[in-house]
Amino acid sequence: MKLATWNVNSLGVRLPQVLDWLAAQQASGAPVDVLALQELKLTDDKFPADAFESIGYHAQWFGQKTYNGVALLSRTPASDIIKNIPGFDDDMSRVITGTVALAGALAGAPGVRVIGAYFPNGQEPGSDKFEYKMEWLTALRRWVKDELAAYPNLVLMGDYNITFDEDDVWDPVNLEGTIHCTEEERYHLRALIALGLTDSHRLFPQPPKSYSWWDYRDAGFRRNRGLRIDHILVSNALKRQVTACTIDKTPRKNERPSDHAPVVVEITPGPAPGSCE
DNA sequence: ATGTCACCTGGTAGGTGA
């Protein structure tokens, strides 16, 4: 089972690239089962559900004019949809959650709870937007704790706008303490991990200087001046079944690319707990 | 050393957010 997250920086602009990418994955023999999209930048009435349906995907979406906006695409329908963080009043569309069947699992096995999220950017430490980011992170953690208790198979993926540590930063010395790299943000990221989640990326050997975002300015991608801010966190129940995690830089080489690359995990259901190996 | 993109409003650019 393949799950992915991609901040497309305007689905209106990037739709052809998303369709192409999904088709290429399909052609490779390992189609994406679930894709979380961020920064749709379009209202719900403009969401191209037909285009996704025509290539075999169900969609759930939560749009917003100009900014934000998230969606979940899945090859089987998602159920129990939640938009944003329950109990946290927010006028931005940042989170969409649903349950999908665990492909390859035995019939009747519990599905996977998938949370797709576009974390606040935060602009700069000390700003109002940074304060909002901190409050949002606190609310997210409180809610994810409850979701984990209800759904042991859980994936939290999206654009976190936070690096874990210097390995996620192209210039850790000069960017220390700047947005995406502050101790306050990283505290919240570690606190999510402490709920019982694992960073899929670090379960496997990865190329050095692996990033998921490169600034459009200053030829950031060509010079690999990037940050790893897009993450796929998996619950402990799923961790043993994660068999791969990669950042696919291919779409970043397109004409008019998003500034983010998709991050992809493979989950291969093992034997049911208690069964003989 | 330098270097962007997308979207809005309200216009034939400027502002905002990232």
Assess whether pLDDT exceeds 50 at residue A207.
yes
Chain segment A170-206, per-residue pLDDT in tens: 999 999 999 999 999 999 999 999 999 999 999 999 9
Tokens describing residue A225: 């001046």
Structural domains of chain A ordered from first start? 2-267 (3.60.10.10)
Give the pLDDT band (50/70/90) at residue A265.
very high
- pLDDT (tens digit per residue) in A12-45: 999 999 999 999 999 999 999 999 999 999 999 9
Q: What is the mean pLDDT of residues A144-165?
A: 98
Q: Answer yes or no: is pLDDT of A276 > 80.
A: no
Sign of CA dihedral A28, A40, A257, A229: negative
pLDDT confidence tier of residue A275, bands split at 50, 70 and 90: low
Distance A38 CA to B7 C1' (A): 16
Query: CA–C1' span, A277 to B15, in Å?
Result: 62
What number is the average pLDDT over the span A150-174?
Answer: 98
State what percent of residues in chain A have pLDDT above 70. 97
Q: How confident is the model at residue A277 (pLDDT cuts 50, 70, 90)?
A: very low
Read off the pLDDT band of A103 (50, 70, 90): confident
C1' of B7 to CA of A14 (Å): 14
The separation, in Å, between residue A87 CA and nucleotide B10 C1' comes to 38
Residue A44 burial class via C-beta count within 10 angstroms: exposed 0-12, middle 13-18, buried 19 and up? middle
**Residue A91 contacts residue A64 (beta carbons within 8 Å):** no
pTM recorded for the entire structure: 0.96
Tokens of A246: 């990669």
pLDDT, chain A, mean: 96
Say whether the CB atom of A45 is under 7 angstroms from strand B.
no
Q: Give yes or no for a contact between A138 and A188, defined as CB atoms under 8 angstroms apart.
A: yes
Helices H / strands E in chain A, number of each = 6, 14
Does any strand B atom come closer than 7 Å to the Cβ of A219? Answer: yes
Q: Is the pLDDT of residue A84 over 80?
A: yes
Residue A269 — very low, low, confident or very high, per pLDDT cuts 50/70/90? confident
pLDDT at A230 over 80: yes
Q: pLDDT value at position A197?
A: 98
- Residues of A 230-269 whose CB lies less than 7 Å from any atom of strand B: 256
- Count the Cβ atoms, other than its own, within 10 Å of residue A181: 23
| Strand B closer than 7 A to residue A226 Cβ | no
Residues 6+ apart with CB under 8 A from A241: A267, A268, A269, A270
Q: Which nucleotides of B are covered by protein (CB under 7 A)?
A: 2-8, 17-18
- Measured CA to C1', what is the nucleotide nearest A257? B5
Output the distance from A215 CA to B18 C1' rounded to whole Å. Answer: 9
